[in-house]
Amino acid sequence: MGWCCCSRWLSQSRLTIGVSVSPFLSTARSCSLSFSSNCHVSSSPQPTLQQQPPLTRSSQLVALEYADLNLSCNLDLGHVRIRQHVNPLSSSFSVPAQVPDWNQVFADPTLPLMVDIGCGSGRFLMWLAKRTPKERNFLGLEIRQRIVKRAESWAKDLALDNIHFLFANATISFKQLVESYLGPLVLVSILCPDPHFKKRHHKRRVLQKPLVGAIVDNLMPGGQVFIQSDVLDMALDMRNQFDEVEALKHIDFLNLGHSAMLCDSEGWLLSNPMGMRTEREIHAELEGAKIYRRLYQKHM
């Protein structure tokens, strides 16, 4: 079943344009829908967002939110179909990714590192990387090789020297990658991972006990883990695994200067603290889904 099952679940939910907008919107996100880019969003005489089928609206919203990246669409992936899912347990994904020469992939390989596990298209990470050049490095781990290639090309177009994408099964490659890194690990995110709904497929989920251990062991004191999912069962699975870790505390109040971010009565963060929604998050919120989020911090 996998993710398609979730799509079905989502399409059964509210189909309004109920995009829940984070208080940390970038200008790009709050600008009007007349935006036109060389990507997906175009101005009239296109039908309005409300008149379009959900998928079109969804990809337009993604383009809109990431408009200031100004990514080229010339670099499509040809006619080869990108698989929606892969089975991470298949033998082709059992070989750990080669550790790169960090001096080759980052201008300053000693900067604090954020790792996004299952980064998808990589646009979310590029958006962050563009905002913090010379402050932080970003590493995206993704198991679908073709989208990694596209992410690498986009990053090159953007001339970002603080981001790198790796084709990797994060479940088995994360540990040796971060152990070899030359600076501190400050943030790990696992955002809307594939839920693999069937119980017998839960072992395909990216977050398994050894990965939890590798994240916690390698995080610097004060370092953070940010998780989210639009699938409650998936979110609870991740939450239960991180809640158990004594070295971590759950952050339920964030003072962001201009505003504070709290949790709901069940302990889920009310909003996305990153300042940008991921692509899956945009799709899910368009469908009216709730996003379940938790932020953890390693004790000092």
Ligand X SMILES: C[S@@+](CC[C@H](N)C(=O)[O-])C[C@H]1O[C@@H](n2cnc3c(N)ncnc32)[C@H](O)[C@@H]1O
Q: Which of 40, 130, 144, 201 binds ligand X (CB under 6 A)?
A: 144
108 catalytic? Reply is: no
Total residues binding ligand X (CB under 6 A): 20
At residue 171, φ and ψ (nearest 5 deg) are -55, -35
Answer yes or no whether residue 140 interacts with ligand X by CB under 6 A: no
Binding of residue 22 to ligand X (CB under 6 A)? no
Least distance CB 272 / ligand X (angstroms): 11
Residue 280 is a binding residue for ligand X (CB under 6 A): yes
Say if residues 21 and 294 touch (Cβ distance below 8 Å).
no
String marking each residue 119-138 x if it binds ligand X according to CB under 6 A: xx------------------
Closer residue to ligand X in complex, CB, 55/260: 55
Number of H helices and E strands in the chain, helices first, is 10, 9
94 close to 167: Cβ distance less than 8 angstroms:
no
Does residue 238 belong to the site contacting ligand X (CB under 6 A)? no
By CB under 6 A, what part of segment 90-119 binds ligand X?
A: 118-119
Q: Residues 41, 126, 127, 194: which binds ligand X (CB under 6 A)?
A: 194
Q: Is the Cβ of residue 14 or residue 203 nearer to ligand X in the bound state?
A: 203
Of 68, 76, 116, 194, the active-site residue reads: 194
**Which is closer to ligand X, CB of 172 or CB of 260?**
172
**CB pairs under 8 A, 24+ apart, for 24-28?**
24/256, 24/259, 24/271, 24/272, 24/273, 24/274, 24/275, 24/276, 26/65, 26/68, 26/127, 26/275, 26/276, 27/68, 28/64, 28/65, 28/66, 28/67, 28/68
- From the list 264, 106, 277, 262, the residue with the least C-alpha distance to 189 is 277
Q: Give the contact letters, 155-184, x = binds to ligand X (CB under 6 A), - = no.
A: --------------xxx-------------
Q: Least distance in Å: CB of 119 to ligand X?
A: 6
Q: Is 65 in the site for ligand X (CB under 6 A)?
A: no
Strand order through the sheet with 185-191:
163-167, 137-142, 113-117, 185-191, 219-229, 292-298, 248-250
Q: Tell me: does residue 193 bind ligand X (CB under 6 A).
A: yes
Closest residue to ligand X, judged by C-beta, is 118
- Is residue 206 involved in binding ligand X (CB under 6 A)? yes
Pairing, β 253-255 against β 260-262 = antiparallel
Instruction: Pick the closest to residue 141 from 196, 87, 91, 178 (CA basis).
Output: 178
**By CB under 6 A, residue 281 contacts ligand X:** yes
Residue 240 CB partners (closer than 8 Å, separation 6+)? none
191 near ligand X, judged by CB under 6 A: yes
- Smallest distance from ligand X to CB 11, Å: 16
In angstroms, give the least distance from the CB of 87 to ligand X.
9
DSSP class per residue in 139-199: EEEES-HHHHHHHHHHHHHTT-SSEEEEE--HHHHHHHHHHH-SS-EEEEEEES-----SG
- Name which position in 64, 141, 216, 289 contacts ligand X (CB under 6 A): 141
| By the rule CB under 6 A, 230 interacts with ligand X | no
Which residues is 142 bridged to in the sheet?
167
Q: Please report, as ranges, the residues that interact with ligand X according to CB under 6 A.
A: 88, 118-120, 141-144, 169-171, 191-194, 206, 278-281
* Catalytic sites, residue numbers: 194
